[in-house]
Chain A
Amino acid sequence: DSGVTQTPKHLITATGQRVTLRCSPRSGDLSVYWYQQSLDQGLQFLIQYYNGEERAKGNILERFSAQQFPDLHSELNLSSLELGDSALYFCASSVGGARGDTQYFGPGTRLTVL
């Protein structure tokens, strides 16, 4: 158990809908990262937050947004969903955002868009 929790575990929805994925980092970790893992694209970095502030952006679509709240939990919002958004979404946390920090991954949320 990494100490990172993600809810829900599974999510099935329809195209055009909007969903919110939730992540609680390990106690004491200030950085949260979001990743998308799919069969065709592998593990893609989406976005990083540090203590409530956005710090890095990866291959995140404009239909997707995220935020980190004062209690350090984070939410990833996916809107206007398409079939291609079906994937595993992982949240990871680390103590800070420094180079060399180990990232601790949650168990993931499996999103299926029908």
Chain B
Amino acid sequence: AQSVTQLDSQVPVFEEAPVELRCNYSSSVSVYLFWYVQYPNQGLQLLLKYLSGSTLVESINGFEAEFNKSQTSFHLRKPSVHISDTAEYFCAVSDINSGGYQKVTFGTGTKLQVIP
């Protein structure tokens, strides 16, 4: 069975400082990995995803995540955060259920609080 662990429930960071949000996963099959972001009072939206190919994936707003198979990790990083990055970030792993359909398991989320 697949699972996702986000060890940090909250991460406070000063504006313009770097940040890393940690995600570890377990899965019995080759993995597809996602980071979703939830801004206050909104639904989740995809930030970036790893399906195959380059282990480093980037989003349009400066975040990047690196798939590390040996460490079963998919940490999210940004070199310089902005106030507008304040949100909750969810790591997720995708598997296939017995019917051949996607089953996505989400982590418990990490609240990023950017301090002015």
Candidate in B96, B101, B107 with the most chain A CB atoms within 10 angstroms: B101
B contact residues, total (Cβ < 8 Å) = 26
Give every chain B residue within 8 A of A104 (Cβ-Cβ).
Answer: 45-46
A107 to B38, CA, bound (A): 10
Candidate in B42, B44, B45 with the most chain A CB atoms within 10 angstroms: B44
A42 to B90, CA, bound (A): 10
Interface of B is mostly: strand
A33 to B94, CA, bound (A): 14
Residue interface bits B12-52, CB-to-A below 8 A is 1, else 0: 00000000000000000000101010000011111001010
* Tally of A-B Cβ pairs under 8 angstroms: 67
A69 to B12, CA, bound (A): 44
Query: Is A86 on the interface with B (CB-CB < 8 A)?
Result: no
Query: Is B105 on the interface with A (CB-CB < 8 A)?
Result: yes
Partner of A98, one of B44, B102, B106: B102
Selecting from A12-20, A48-56, A60-68, A71-79, the interface stretch reads A48-56
Tell whether, in the assembled complex, residue B49 and residue A102 are in contact, meaning their CB atoms are under 8 Å apart. yes
Which residues in A have some Cβ–Cβ distance to B below 8 Å? 2, 4, 31, 33, 42-43, 45, 48, 50, 55-56, 90, 92, 94, 97-108
